[in-house]
Structure 1
């Protein structure tokens, strides 16, 4: 097993010893005590929904008004509506509360690898454990985080070569059964105010082990493929960032646009249709400015595919800092990029530099960085979700 787990000194994570828990079968239906607890929470839920209504009104009012901020004020065409985004972000900082379920033991829960192409999963889980947005009072929470890691499920539960996913399915299903028995919140909303996060490609499939998790909950996924059940209005697309050292420090910057000699660069293995097409047409080609190879040490892994939702697209206008090339046009990749006028290229580069702060991994997190942008995407989904206790018969 070659996955690295953050050390206690670095991230405050647990060491990777395996703790096996036997979970007894518990009814997924609410008990009488659950219904009673749910009725007691009704007033708290109403207060939460009222607060969200005030936030929605403030965001709507800010459409044509700018707000002051000592750190950063979004502006320019890279944002769909910079004023609305800024007000929404400030409302999130003011109001947003997240409850992290404490049930479950490492290494399956509450920790994950913080390095490599899937490292953002561990970074988020560990940052969430100490985040200022975390509340210890579940009655005050707007959303509830399910702190299991798909990567550690695969590393510790899945038997390589068995092709049997049922142990992973059972682990997730049993965990939600436990929290459903102990807390009223899952049944109250049928999971609509709960969220999970996964960078591994198996995340969407494993989420199907619990119907409400797949159907109702917010799923923050790197594998944001709409053809595989990703819902733009409910789920959250998160970026896949290569983190050789658990942070983006030292990976940013580079020569000015006029001094760059590489037109397009790709490094990665052959898995998925898009990579097969890309490598078929461009692998080891000798044309100037094009570097497409299967494997390069320390290379950034990048892929673009039809049907994928772009990260933070509720806020960011990707057309202003990126070039979207359909799979069918990959053979014309160089011609398409070379046809971009110099003025447009410089504008794209300038906008890309502006929004780069939203894709930076900081330890500890800083305002507007990737951790907070993921939270903001979840915040937006919660703003658009009106929760009413399904057990309330009044």
Structure 2
């Protein structure tokens, strides 16, 4: 897109990689959409009282953010940070955790936000300069924690200062927004397709046709 200036300035892109540092992305004009694995059926449920892990992350250490996360929390019981693949199912860890970390990898976007929401886990987002999906529609503070990467050493303190009642409100709102982060073969009201279309509608004033096309 950076090589097609006319298109870049006048078309609305719908992208997962909504980082301010990418030359092809124009913040506040282009629309951020979530990276989501297609899944069939309703999301599984797990009562908050049965979620024994406080904070969970597993993945490759392919960015400075993830390496910093591992360096700070690799030996702390309450914050489970695992390098590489788990030996047990990833879904079990998501279902058994109260908070699940989204940390920037090669790209600012990963499927971990969608994974966390699908399994009813409150996302903790460690990705600076990232336009969150549906940011003009959803109040992310009502169902997630957005933490600056410089505050990774304070992560345990930040989470533990959240009361159980506050956590219950966050988790309850996670269940309410799950429908917005699901794709279907045929669109269903308020699903990811309709959210994306609404994002486009909100940005309709950014599109300008060349005078010759009028």
Q: TM-score, normalised by structure 2?
A: 0.74
Write the distance in 2 (CA, Å) between the matches of 1:272 and 1:218.
29
Write the distance in 1 (CA, Å) between the matches of 2:213 and 2:4.
23
Write the distance in 2 (CA, Å) between the matches of 1:216 and 1:386.
5
Distance 1:251 1:278, change over 3 A: farther
Give 1:372's aligned residue.
Answer: 194
CA contact (8 A) 2:127 2:149 kept: yes
Distance 1:208 1:299, change over 3 A: farther
The Cα shift of 1:276 comes to 2.3
Report whether the alignment pairs 1:261 with 2:52: yes
Write the distance in 2 (CA, Å) between the matches of 1:341 and 1:249.
34
Which has more strand, going by share of residues? 2
The Cα shift of 1:299 comes to 3.5
CA contact (8 A) 1:321 1:351 kept: yes
Give 1:227's aligned residue.
Answer: 21
Give 2:123's aligned residue.
Answer: none
CA contact (8 A) 2:14 2:31 kept: yes
CA contact (8 A) 1:268 1:302 kept: no
Higher relative contact order (CA 8 A, sep 6+): 2
Q: Secondary structure at the match of 1:226?
A: coil
Cα-Cα RMSD: 2.4
The Cα shift of 1:338 comes to 1.1
Count of residue correspondences: 180
The Cα shift of 1:392 comes to 6.6
Distance 1:213 1:386, change over 3 A: closer
The Cα shift of 1:374 comes to 1.4
CA contact (8 A) 1:278 1:330 kept: yes
Give 1:192's aligned residue.
Answer: none
CA contact (8 A) 1:267 1:302 kept: no
Unaligned runs of 5+ in 1: 1-206
The Cα shift of 1:317 comes to 0.6
Write the distance in 1 (CA, Å) between the matches of 2:15 and 2:207.
22
The Cα shift of 1:366 comes to 1.3
Write the distance in 1 (CA, Å) between the matches of 2:90 and 2:168.
24
Deviations 1:300-358 (A, max 9, x none): 79323111011101110111111111101111112211110111111111111111110
Divergent runs of 4+, >6 A: none
Distance 1:362 1:336, change over 3 A: same
CA contact (8 A) 1:238 1:311 kept: yes
Greater CA radius of gyration, 1 or 2? 1
Unaligned runs of 5+ in 2: 92-100, 104-125
Give 1:353's aligned residue.
Answer: 175
Give 1:291's aligned residue.
Answer: 80
Give 1:318's aligned residue.
Answer: 140
1:302 aligned residue (99, 102, 106): 102
The Cα shift of 1:250 comes to 5.7
